[in-house]
């Protein structure tokens, strides 16, 4: 039963290494949807994520809500992130829209760059650090995850200590249930 774990909004110098440590401990690979600004400040960390066998994707330059962006501005967000990822030796084939907001312009920009659009099917709301606890994340993932699901988590964009703690709890339980982690 294949599932995918995705990590958004990094790389982050504090939390991404913690996530990598958990994933390595359990022998799990994930897909890291990276923001260009974060990549630019953490090129060596991008290389570390890649060297560990994880997939790296484009998550725009600055995680903007692009719903009202014209086609040229959408293209610039994607291209600028691709350019900085290239500086770290990465050439992504996948794109995740910030907030999961997809428009015709975003999908056209992806198609023109041969980027596959990536969504998710399990959102444990770890992004809501003010209201969602480690155990909320764990409960949601364990209750909702089914074969072929894509789990949304975050390694950047704020305090991700609850996410790191949750990974340590739900990954071994999902493995015990017979799930196999694959790249998205």
Check residue 121 and give its pLDDT.
Answer: 98
How does pLDDT run across 104-151, given as a tens digit for each residue?
Answer: 999 999 999 999 999 999 999 999 999 999 999 999 999 999 999 999
Pair 18, 162: CB distance under 8 Å = no
Say whether pLDDT at 183 is over 90: no
| Mean predicted confidence (pLDDT) in 158-173 | 97
List residues with catalytic annotation: 8, 154
Q: How do 116-117 and 94-95 pair as beta strands?
A: parallel
Domain ranges of the chain: 2-181
Q: Is the pLDDT of residue 51 over 90?
A: yes
Do residues 65 and 155 lie in contact, with contact meaning Cβ atoms separated by under 8 Å? no
Q: What is the DSSP letter of 100?
A: G
Do 30 and 175 touch, CB atoms closer than 8 A?
no
Q: How confident is the model at residue 44 (pLDDT cuts 50, 70, 90)?
A: very high
pLDDT exceeds 90 at position 18: yes
Q: What pLDDT, on the 0 to 100 scale, is given for residue 84?
A: 97
Domain 2-181 adopts which CATH fold? TIM Barrel (3.20.20)
Q: What is the mean predicted confidence (pLDDT) over 43-67? A: 97
pLDDT at position 184: 83
pLDDT exceeds 90 at position 47: yes
Cα separation, 184 vs 100, in Å, equals: 15
- State the alpha helices, DSSP H only, in 52-119: 71-87, 104-112
> Given this model, what pLDDT does residue 165 score?
98
Taking alpha carbons only, the member of 60, 135, 146, 131 closest to residue 101 is 60
Tens-place pLDDT, residues 56-105: 999 999 999 999 999 999 999 999 999 999 999 999 999 999 999 999 99
Is residue 142 reached through a cis peptide bond, with omega within 30 degrees of 0 on the bond before it?
no
């Amino acid at each position: 039963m294949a599932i995918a774990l995705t990590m958004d909004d990094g790389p982050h110098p504090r939390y991404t290494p913690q996530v990598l440590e958990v994933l390595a401990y359990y022998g799990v690979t994930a897909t890291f949807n990276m923001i260009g600004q974060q990549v630019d400040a953490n090129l060596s960390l991008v290389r570390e994520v890649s060297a560990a066998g994880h997939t790296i994707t484009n998550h725009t330059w600055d995680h903007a809500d692009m719903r009202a962006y014209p086609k040229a501005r959408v293209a610039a967000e994607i291209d600028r992130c691709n350019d900085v990822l290239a500086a770290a030796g990465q050439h992504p084939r996948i794109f995740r829209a910030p907030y999961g907001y997809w428009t015709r312009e975003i999908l056209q920009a992806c198609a023109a760059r041969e980027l596959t659009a990536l969504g998710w099917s399990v959102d444990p709301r770890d992004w809501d650090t003010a209201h969602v606890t480690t155990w909320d994340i764990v409960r949601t993932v364990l209750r909702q995850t089914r074969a072929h699901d894509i789990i949304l988590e975050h390694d950047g964009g704020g305090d991700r200590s609850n996410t790191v703690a949750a990974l340590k709890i739900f990954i071994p339980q999902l493995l015990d249930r017979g799930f196999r982690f694959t790249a998205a």
